[in-house]
Structure 1
């Protein structure tokens, strides 16, 4: 079991997901306008939204938990697969810069979401 998280870490994690969701929605809109293939960004965006909802639900009871185990599993897979690219970007950023801090918080948020989704999978299996 993970130690309880401070409200600051929870808030920063929620904000990290909100930020990346906003950026992904803007990227999706630009891709649609250019007629580009949007299947990858749509899949990522869906995973980010699920991740945000799961964290909000776990930490504050906010939101409806309406995702099935397959959706949660797929979202977790997407989030885990995004982590290495975030870590590579962080390695290229200078410690203490705003970019480094943003990446640090985003990585932590993704890790927390992946763990929460893993716990959801365990809960679903226990109920079956």
Structure 2
């Protein structure tokens, strides 16, 4: 293993720990299960943490049946993350449609110069 692989594994481990830290704090201090956004935020964060954990594990076990199983798990995880990104896109579009992502009243959206 060269220094770049070691650095990659260490930084990926840091990302995994940060995601786990967020998940624990969010679980203990927020009613994340009660809203679609909260569930999405928790799931997306844990998925990114799992991807970082994969990077650490594949660095430790780069060959053999363990590596093959890890690579298969990564494929499933990436498909899951793709689904989460599509869900996030849908949530943003729905919020925009409802006016939830803008502070400008609907009547003033197209008026670029409100003074005139």
TM-score range, shorter chain: 0.3 to 0.5
Q: Which has the higher contact order (CA 8 A, sep 6+)?
A: 1
Instruction: State the TM-score, normalizing by the size of structure 1.
Output: 0.43
